Amino acid sequence: MALMTGEQYVESLRKLNMEIYMFGEKIENPVDHPMLRPSLNSVKVTYELAQNDEYHDLMTSRSHFVDKDINRFTNIHRSANDLISKVKMQRLLGQKTASCFQRCVGMDAINAVFSTTYEIDKEYGTIYHENFLKYLKYVQEKDLTIDGAMTDTKGDRSLPPSRQADPDQYLHIVERRPDGIVVRGAKAHQTGICNSHEVLVMPTVSMGPDDKDYAVAFAVPVDTKGIVIIIGRQSCDTRKLEGPTIDTGNSQYGGVEGLTIFDDVFVPNDRIFLNGETEFAGMLVERFAGYHRQSYGGCKVGVGDVLIGASALAADYNGAGKASHVKDKLIEMIHLNETLYCCGLACSSEGKMTESGNYMVDLLMANVCKQNVTRFPYEIARLAEDIAGGSMVTAPSEKDLRDPIVGPYIEKYMKGINGVSAENRLRIMRLIENLTLGTAAVGYRTESMHGAGSPQAQRIMIARQGNVSAKKELAKAIAGIIE
């Protein structure tokens, strides 16, 4: 197959028997559920654009493993150009969906696991890389969506995994059998887990010798026995239950998170990619984080493009589009957004080949990219709210707009400039609300802060990669200091 269509993707999810809960009820049909379908639609776009001749070269790559064109989300990066194309693809998808399209974590995970398993095998003579290549070919042939699962619930963050009062706060091995392992724990903040075919689990922190049972990486189907998905709440999420209304802001697309429980899940031997080699847990975490922090220089920029456009339209509809202060705010939004894109491209263009043959981003620049992402989208959102005005959050509902009694009042008093209806003005206001405060804010504002690690995680990596000692030597040479 190698490339699925959008409809084939949807039908492939219907065949899965996932255990999903939301609002205290088991969801029997997640594919068509009104609160979950917009998030599925966002993933569906990644399949549809790969079938589109206009975007084919950006959305696909030639596999070195199955000798077919594959979706770029299942690609192993083989050049700096691959890394650059990834960022450009992510910006495009952000522009098309104005939401999280959910496949980035899996793409970043397979690239991190690819190189790390190679180096574990080199050190210990294990067969993790062989296992992973077999798995990778399966994923590429089937064009599967992978949920990359790294973030543990962590419990007491002052303690390492093996010293937690509750050992399940970090996912760990509870039984080793001749045919595989049994794991228990949970992964939090799992973006798009209910829209995925597979879950690829990785450790979440560097580990010491006592954490051997926690140093584990593996992949299993999302409907494996023992996996339970609990959908997270989002601001304004129940508006989706009202149908595709103006009030949702973006009724077609969205993102969704899940707390994913692993209740004694069995993993066969050929799906294990790390099993107790604690010294490689940190490498895997660092490499995944580098790739995923690069990703934010693409996806968040694409969503930012939509928010900037919506803000400019809101200004026009309000009759303020020509005001100098509005123009200046839009310029600032563009400046911040393009700076993020520059960072994403820079860490990609400076990428280097690993021992395994795939390309790794420049880690310092990737962490600088994500550090900027923890700040700039917040300022972009603030400026958008400033330009939009208070009606963004106080406007009447679409039901009131359609009401025969109060609707005419809304048409009259919610109107801006002549030639633009109250309905269109409300639509753009609700889109800005969705992107800055509503369900899409999870994938824009809050995810900009905490996705791929909190701001402090990037600062730690910047300190490690900044090479201050070399900079000191540069200063000594210029100053003529001889020690």
Identify any residues that bridge with 221 across adjacent strands, giving them in sequence order: 198
Residues 104, 299 contacting (CB under 8 angstroms): yes
H-only helix segments in 191-323? 281-318
pLDDT at residue 198, as a whole number? 98
Q: What six digits make up the tokens of 63?
A: 């596999």
Residues 76, 116 contacting (CB under 8 angstroms): no
> For residue 415, what is the DSSP state?
-
At 441, the pLDDT band (50, 70, 90 cuts) reads confident
pLDDT > 90? residue 2: no
- In angstroms, the first-to-last Cα distance of the chain is 65
> For residue 44, what is the DSSP state?
H
Residues 140, 110 contacting (CB under 8 angstroms): no
pLDDT at residue 75, as a whole number? 98
How far apart CA 206 and CA 176 sit, in angstroms, is: 22
List, for residues 223-264, the tens digit of each pLDDT value. 999 999 999 999 999 999 999 999 999 999 999 999 999 999
Phi, psi of 431 (to 5 degrees): -65, -45
pLDDT at residue 315, as a whole number? 98
Number of helices (H) and strands (E) in the chain: give both, helices first. Answer: 18, 14
Q: Measuring CA to CA, which residue among 440, 353, 473 is closest to residue 38?
A: 440
Strand 216-221 with 146-149, pairing = unpaired
| Lateral strand order in the sheet of 146-149 | 146-149, 198-201, 216-221, 272-275
List, for residues 141-185, the tens digit of each pLDDT value. 999 999 999 999 999 999 999 999 999 999 999 999 999 999 999
Residues 336, 436 contacting (CB under 8 angstroms): no
pLDDT at residue 310, as a whole number? 98
Q: What six digits make up the tokens of 472?
A: 């000191």
Enumerate the active-site residues: 100, 104, 191, 257, 292, 296, 299, 447
Q: What six digits make up the tokens of 479?
A: 């100053």
Q: By percentage, how much of the chain surpasses pLDDT 90? A: 98
Q: Please provide the average confidence, as pLDDT, over all residues in the chain.
A: 97
List, for residues 181-221, the tens digit of each pLDDT value. 999 999 999 999 999 999 999 999 999 999 999 999 999 99
Residues 192, 103 contacting (CB under 8 angstroms): yes
Mean pLDDT of 69-79: 98
CATH code, 283-466: 1.20.140.10
pTM of the model: 0.97
List, for residues 81-126, the tens digit of each pLDDT value. 999 999 999 999 999 999 999 999 999 999 999 999 999 999 999 9
User: Any binding-site annotation on 191?
Assistant: yes
pLDDT > 80? residue 1: no
List, for residues 266-320, the tens digit of each pLDDT value. 999 999 999 999 999 999 999 999 999 999 999 999 999 999 999 999 999 999 9
Within 8 A by CB and 6+ apart from 214, the residues are: 161, 162, 170, 171, 172, 173, 203, 207, 281
How far apart CA 20 and CA 28 sit, in angstroms, is: 8
